[in-house]
Amino acid sequence: MSADTVIEADGLTKAYGRKVAVDHISFTVGRGEIFGLLGPNGAGKTTTILMLLGLTDISDGKVNVLGFDPAREPLSVKRRVGYLPDEVGFYEQLTAADNLRYTARLIGFTSMDREKRIAEALDRVGLAEFADNRVGTFSRGMRQRLGLAEILMKGAQIAILDEPTSGLDPHATSELLGIIRRFKAEGVSVLLSSHLLERVQSVCDRVALFSAGRIALIGSVSELGREVLGAGYVVDIEADGAGLADRLALIPGVSRVEQTGIGKLRLHAERDVRPEAAAEVVALHGRLKYLGVQEPSLEAIYTHYFENRPDETLKEGARNAA
Amino acid sequence: MRREGSAFNGLGVVMLKELADHLTSIRFVVLELVVMALAVVTVYVAAQDIKNTVAEDPFLFLKFFTTSSGSLPSFLFWLSLFVPVVSIGLAFDSINGEHNRRTLSRILSQPIYRDALLFGKFLGALLTLAVALVVLWLLVIGLGLLFIGIPPGGDEIARAFVFLLVTIVYAGVWLALALLFSILFRSAATAALATLGLWLFFFVIWPVLAGEIAQIVVPPDPRYAALGLQTPGTAILEQVLSRLSPSTLFGEVVVAILDPTTRALGPIYLSQLQGAVLGAPLPLGASVLIAWPQIVGLLATTILLFVIGYVVFQRQEVRA
């Protein structure tokens, strides 16, 4: 395990009797990385997470979290890893601060340290003014944020978030994703699972696409896009200048230039050709209004990938139905 | 390979939280108020009775626990209802409640073992009950003093104290059972009904059933019946069977502790009574010795039920 790897799973397997929920998956998560476990419900994401935390037995394979084996040293792992379960629950009759106090006592913080950490954590997720409100009055989004506050209070090196955005409205989602980005800025690694591909695409450095207990694809979203869709880069440009389309077509690596509107062109290329395209516009003394590269959409990747493997998709469908 | 750290990490934290939760819960306050009211009424009525009839009993004070008057059963009877019901009320949703509130996986992702959560919940509930029972106990003794104005003797207080301890042990049995069912059943309502059902079975049905079964297995001998006596074989089997019920065990212990003249629990031959001064009180140690198998039986049942729950809980999946 290299110094920059915080989670390393190798051939991780979980079987319930003859049913295999997680089937020999391997992945690594680096320090300060946001890693997404994506896939439909029942694909084995939560089971994987529980194995990482030592909350369920590992049937086969090896896993290493911050240098500890979760099956043998669960306390060391759990002291350093924060976990936000799917649809996190709190004690409804207690206040937000009291809920955190209970957790802080379980972790074993001293009382001085405890109050400071709680106040700080609540402040950072924007719940400072609700510290003394009972959690029973909280909305879904506030509960999720309280869950993140718990992880912040813990001072975790890894945050494991199971479906953090499910059931949230767009505003609450973007707030939550903002907090998750701040985790990364502080060097906390984030492992998050989701079945909502679009929402989390924007925050993940790398993703693993789960299907029927296996990792079907792993890598950054743009890597996967090229691998699966074979599309390469799509660069949209909006500019004027005579003969711009012809000049752009000559840039090495550009395979096709498409006219998508008045003064709007779309380049299909095998690499990111934005610098060269901009240089061409400037060389023609044209005015550049828009220049952007299209990120491949995870949803497109996912759909495309499984359309080509109808067997697996069918099997997965049967599992979800069951 | 040994697992790291102590299984009792966080035990105290869980226990104190449970204690605080129980003591502030409306559920508990209501039950406690009902029993307080009953305690006052039964002790008052018992006091009237005691004043009129048994003013010369050397163990006058213990009568407060056992005297029933007319239509109103004794304090002991209410207690034997109250202890199981409150125990079950405190513990029937302890584990499945955490599951259903979706707090279980969050709590277990903190650096504690499941042991601490389970044991902490058990101890928290037991401590709550112990507090309630001590209060009740003091209330009865205080009221007794007020109503008849005779201070209890040292032996009486000692017996009353042993009675208190045994009652707490008895509460442990039902707590452990309710805790076990809260692990086995995901729905709190199912767990509550199952535990209450089992209690009713042991409290009401089993004593009758034990007699019936004993008569079927060992049919009564007509020679004994002609003399108006129970057949020894039948009587012994009936007692063995009925002792499978914790309620019976508790009842027998209480008889031995609160009635110092009790010399045996169960049928004995006349020959065994030779030389005994009937009606003479036994010392406390001897009374405890008579009931010792029953006390151990109650303790063992508690431990057994808790261990079964522990094993099941360790292997249970935490995901909702």
The CATH number assigned to the domain holding A242 equals 3.30.70.100
Residue A319 belongs to a domain: no
Q: Taking CB atoms and an 8 Å cutoff, what residues of chain B touch A85?
A: 102, 105-106, 109, 320
CA dihedral B59, B41, B35, B149 (to 10 degrees): -40
Task: Please give the Cα distance from B256 to B125 (Å, whole number).
Answer: 27
Q: Which tens digit of pLDDT belongs to each residue from A58-95?
A: 999 999 999 999 988 999 999 999 999 988 999 999 99
Q: Which of A225, A240, A272 is the last residue of a domain?
A: A225
Its domain, for residue A251, covers 232-294
Residue A154 shares a structural domain with residue A277: no
| Torsion sign, CA atoms A96, A101, A107, A110 | positive
Q: Which of A225, A243, A264 is the last residue of a domain?
A: A225
Residue A83 shares a structural domain with residue A183: yes
Residue A123 shares a structural domain with residue A40: yes
**pLDDT at residue B196 above 70?**
yes
Distance of CA B307 to the CA centre of its chain: 19
Residue A314 belongs to a domain: no
- Tally of domains in chain A: 2
* Interface touch B111/A87, C-beta < 8 Å: no
Residue A63 shares a structural domain with residue A163: yes
Q: From residue B188, how far is each of B96, B134, B182, B200 by CA, in Å?
A: 6, 28, 7, 18
Best mutation target, B110, B117, B313, to test chain A (most A CBs within 10 A):
B110
**Is the ipTM beyond the 0.90 threshold?**
no
Residue A275 shares a structural domain with residue A175: no
A46 in reach of chain B (CB within 8 A): yes
* Mean pLDDT value of segment A278-304: 81
Q: Which tens digit of pLDDT belongs to each residue from B147-166?
A: 887 788 888 899 999 999 99
Residue A147 shares a structural domain with residue A217: yes
A48 in reach of chain B (CB within 8 A): no
Residue A49 shares a structural domain with residue A160: yes
Distance of CA B261 to the CA centre of its chain: 22
What's the pLDDT at B185? Answer: 94
What's the token pair of residue B154?
Answer: 């040292």
Q: Which tens digit of pLDDT belongs to each residue from B46-90?
A: 888 777 765 567 777 787 788 777 677 888 888 888 899 999 999
What's the token pair of residue A284?
Answer: 């023609």
Q: Taking CB atoms and an 8 Å cutoff, what residues of chain A touch B9?
A: 75, 108
Residue A179 shares a structural domain with residue A116: yes
Highest mean pLDDT among B25-29, B69-73, B310-314: B310-314
Which residues lie closer than 8 Å to A276 by C-beta, 6 or more apart? A251
Residue A254 belongs to a domain: yes
B197 in reach of chain A (CB within 8 A): no
Residue A33 shares a structural domain with residue A156: yes
Residue A221 shares a structural domain with residue A276: no
Which residues lie closer than 8 Å to B295 by C-beta, 6 or more apart? B166, B169, B253, B288
Residue A71 shares a structural domain with residue A188: yes
What's the token pair of residue B135?
Answer: 């209060």
* Interface touch B107/A78, C-beta < 8 Å: no
**pLDDT at residue A251 above 90?**
no
Q: Which tens digit of pLDDT belongs to each residue from A189-240?
A: 999 998 877 777 788 899 998 888 888 888 888 788 777 776 677 888 888 8
Task: Please give the Cα distance from B53 to B47 (Å, whole number).
Answer: 10
